Amino acid sequence: MTSPASVHGDERLRLFLALRLPEAVLDTIESWQAAELGGRRLVPRAHLHGTLAFLRHRPACELEAILSALRAAAGAAGADLRLAPFRYRETRSVAMLAFEDVSGGATALAEDVQARLEALGVYRREARPWLPHVTVARFRARPGLRLEPPAMGTFVPSDAAAYLSRLHPDGAQYAVLESVGLR
């Protein structure tokens, strides 16, 4: 975890808020990636997450307010945040596992944190509805795979976190700035 105090007020930070996955889910996804997506640029285990809101580049002076919004939304989240894999999906540049929000709790959390961020003036929601998913691979050309998602059953995210994303030639490097427990 990176200390929020290690960033400076005038620095611009590439930030996102996300659900973190339990170790057993990470184990399953990592095994599935190796078996089904070998030969592609796999998202490393430490980078597997379910994005709640991607904030792009924000001034570091906004970080504390963003973290407060995450804490408040996580604290207000209902107790039922169950997710279950329901399909493999590709966009033009990524492969993802899409999840069913069994109870609606994860969607409610995403909508709450997004509304809080909008109220701060640091975020604007996408036009399409939030889709709980985990990006599992990246590619230059869509391979057109038709895969079944891994058999992992229903799970509850371990916590929510604010991430710092730094771009590198090998791909983005993520650091957790703060994690927040979910009720």
Name the β-bridge partners of 176: 163
151: tokens are 């058999």
* CB of 95 closer than 8 Å to CB of 137: yes
Digit-by-digit pLDDT tens for the chain (183 residues) are 555 545 555 789 999 999 999 999 999 999 999 999 988 999 999 999 999 999 999 999 999 999 999 999 999 998 789 999 999 999 999 999 999 999 999 999 999 999 999 999 999 999 999 999 999 999 988 999 999 999 999 999 999 999 999 988 887 899 999 999 996
If we measure between CA atoms, which residue out of 114, 149, 115 comes closest to residue 134?
149
The string of DSSP letters for 6-35 reads GS-TT-EEEEEEEEEPPHHHHHHHHHHHHH
**Is the Cβ–Cβ distance between 160 and 176 less than 8 Å?**
no
Q: Which tokens is 32 given?
A: 């599935």
Query: 111, exposed or middle or buried, with CB in 10 Å at 0-12, 13-18, 19+?
Result: middle
